[in-house]
Amino acid sequence: MTAPAIRISGLRKNFGASEIIRGVDLDIHRGERHAVIGPNGAGKSTLFHLISARLPVSAGAIELKGENVVGLKPFEINRKGLSRSFQITNIFHNLSVFENLRCAVLWSLGYRYSFWQRLAGLKDARQRAEAVMEDIGLAKRRDTPAGILSYAEQRALEIGITIASGADVILLDEPTAGMSRSETDDAVALIRRVTEGKTLVMVEHDMGVVFGLADRISVLVYGQIIATDAPAAIRCNAAVQEAYLGTSPHLGNEHD
Amino acid sequence: MNSAIFPRGRLLLWGGCLAAAIALPLLFKSGFVVSLLCQMGIMVVFALSYNMLLGQTGLLSFGHAVYYGLGAFVTMHALNIVGKDGGPLTTALLPLVGGLAGMLAGVLLGYVTTKKAGTTFAMISLGIGELVAASALMFPGFFGGEGGVSGNRVVGKENLLGLTWGPQVEMYGLIVAWAFLATVAMFALTQTPLGRMANAVRDNPERAEFVGYDTQRVRFLMVILSGLFAGIAGGLSALNYEIITAETLNAHTSGVVLLMTFVGGIGFFYGPIIGAILITVMQIVIGGLTHAWLLYFGLFFLFMVLMAPGGIASVIAVQRNLWLAGLLGRMLPHYLAVALPVLVLLAGLVGLVELSYALLAGEGVGAGDTATRVMTMEFHLNTPGPWLAALGTTALGLLLTRWIGSRAGVAWNAALATLHGDKA
């Protein structure tokens, strides 16, 4: 029996006197697509920041594939095979699309801080960056500076940078936020394709996306997980309907 | 998709620059020009090393003179140890000693400064720069106190091609060789994984961490490598001037290299080269013409920051894009039309500056400081004539510039719109 992709136990985070994460226990199975939903301010993004070490943990434990990762730096966790995207687009604005992706693969290919190798000669880095560029549909924008891409293109690049290193645990923070219906459909297809065979955890407000993609769903309310279950069971869960959706009986097409 | 280190176009450009650098002292045989060229070459290396931090890694340093100065002092001591008995080749290689000293300084100081980026880095670099400059006066044994340390680069025995490094033109050859090597090396660095990740750290340190890179390590390595090249530049200056004082380490030197790099353009590899050449010429040529040169210097910097924050290189890049799009021909008449009123405006401003400077600083030709000399013309400060003429010229220049400039501006915007429209 292998350890879960992520095991969170007794996790707490407070900013001064206000506690944002109030004792979260959660197991993310290997290879599952797991969505974290919850009302605004529930602490979903904070939870991601804690897992990826963007914020220090106040108390509790986080294990990545059986290994304690509390106290590690973001780049150390990344090197252990966890990669994440951001709710607010977080890319290298002055670099071209291709350079963005090549930067994302350099470490995982072992080039580290090399100043004795020419980038142009690194065939594997180029091929991997080009393959991802093809995957996210930005091949025709290869040499465009990332800063002047359209919003949807930047979101696609954000996902591309996240998956490029080949990490097997992927955290996506609101990947479809701010997208039109058709852009969202494209993004969902993209996420489905690029996370094939990997562990995916995502925060998402679009219930169409959540119920379409997720194998399991956790509901985070006021810093605590009130339910973790398969989509169908979550849809019928009375506590979820009560706490998260008021009394609405229908968990169908809610949009953020 | 050209994967050669030096594609043909680049090879031609670099070869052309090298040829020009070698040919210049043959065209102008005067000692003044050769000295000027020597200083340019040294400053080119210094400014390029500075831009490894500012332009490429996004680190604003106010203490870059430390690496340059320490490189110079160590080279000078090495020169004095080697003495006359070393061969010409030994002396020629001394700047490398300076480079290693700069690198070592980068290891020691960079470890402290690169803990944080942004404003913190700038402040710490300023503090450390002042610290080193101040302690230089406390260790006269090494830094030579007020008088500095001097040496003699001339080697007694000549063998290698008959070089003794005595004549300035031989020194110039040495500077060109070092500057070319250093420039090629610094350019090559921009094409490596570390060089590219430095750009990534500049653009978005957080994202760089989340693709597996320790941003502090990237900054640290860039500071060390930048220290190497700054130290080489310092070593060249030690050989060139044969004297080095503690002043070299202070904030003024750091300020000048920042200015050169910024004016040239931090967003382009070749920007600092342009800046170093231009500012060196301005310093020496304008400095020789007028005592108010620092004021012109300041005005020029102000103008660049406000009108062309991307530096001269960015202006060139835009012209190149216009040219490639076939639009430059449309703009040229406008440039020429604007040049005339701008010249009038400049003449008026120069008049005002010189008159005021003469009056306030008492820099007149004597006779109770009521007269001053601009070029060969003598003006009387206590008569309204020169003042009215200068004011009138300035006002006329201002009006004409605004009038003609606004029409050129319309054409400019149209050209840019076409340019970007074509791109999208």
pLDDT given for residue B366 in this prediction: 45
Put simply, whether B135 touches A (Cβ < 8 Å) is no
Instruction: Give contacts of B 209-248 with A, CB under 8 A.
Output: 209-215, 217-218, 221, 225
Per-residue pLDDT tens digits for A90-113: 999 999 999 999 999 999 999 999
Phi and psi (nearest 5°) for A33?
-105, 115
Helix (H, G, I), strand (E, B) or coil at A229: strand
pLDDT of residue A255 exceeding 50:
no
Q: Tell me which DSSP letter residue B286 carries.
A: I
B204, B210, B216, B220: best to mutate for the A interface, most A CBs within 10 A: B210
**ipTM of the shown complex:** 0.93
Closest Cβ–Cβ partner in A73, A84, A106 for B197:
A106
Q: Do B218 and A108 touch (CB under 8 A)?
A: no
Closest CA in chain B for residue A163: B211
Domain boundaries, chain B: 25-252, 325-423
DSSP letters of B372-407? EEETTEEEETTSHHHHHHHHHHHHHHHHHHHHHHHH
User: Would you say B260 and B97 are in contact if contact means Cβ atoms under 8 Å apart?
Assistant: no
Per-residue pLDDT tens digits for B57-93: 999 999 999 999 999 999 999 999 987 777 788 899 9
Kindly report the average pLDDT of chain B as a whole number: 89
Amino acid occupying residue B317: A
DSSP letters of B82-133? HGGGS-HHHHHHHHHHHHHHHHHHHHHHHHHHTTS-HHHHHHHHHHHHHHHH
Q: What is the share, in percent, of chain A residues with pLDDT greater than 90?
A: 87
Q: Are strands A199-203 and A33-37 parallel, antiparallel or unpaired?
A: parallel
CA pair distance B335, B344, nearest whole angstrom: 15
Q: Do B197 and A103 touch (CB under 8 A)?
A: yes
| pTM, to two decimals | 0.92
Which DSSP helix (H) or strand (E) runs through B409?
helix B384-423
Lowest mean pLDDT among A90-94, B129-133, B220-224, B286-290: B286-290
How would residue B159 be classed by pLDDT, with cut points 50, 70 and 90?
A: low
CA pair distance A117, A125, nearest whole angstrom: 12
Q: Where are the alpha helices (DSSP H) in B265-383?
A: 271-281, 287-289, 293-307, 311-324, 328-361
Domains of chain A: 1-76+201-256 (3.40.50.300)
How would residue B215 be classed by pLDDT, with cut points 50, 70 and 90?
A: very high
Kindly state the tokens that stand for A131.
Answer: 């393959």
Q: Do B218 and A93 touch (CB under 8 A)?
A: no
Q: Do A113 and B194 touch (CB under 8 A)?
A: yes
How would residue A153 be classed by pLDDT, with cut points 50, 70 and 90?
A: very high
Residue A44 C-alpha, separation from nearest chain B C-alpha, in angstroms: 19
Residue B205 C-alpha, separation from nearest chain A C-alpha, in angstroms: 9
- Spell out the residues 6+ positions from residue B149 whose beta carbon is closer than 8 angstroms to its own: B73, B76, B77, B80, B143, B243, B244, B245
CA triplet A48, A53, A57: central angle to 5 degrees? 90
Bridge partner residues of A220 (DSSP): A225
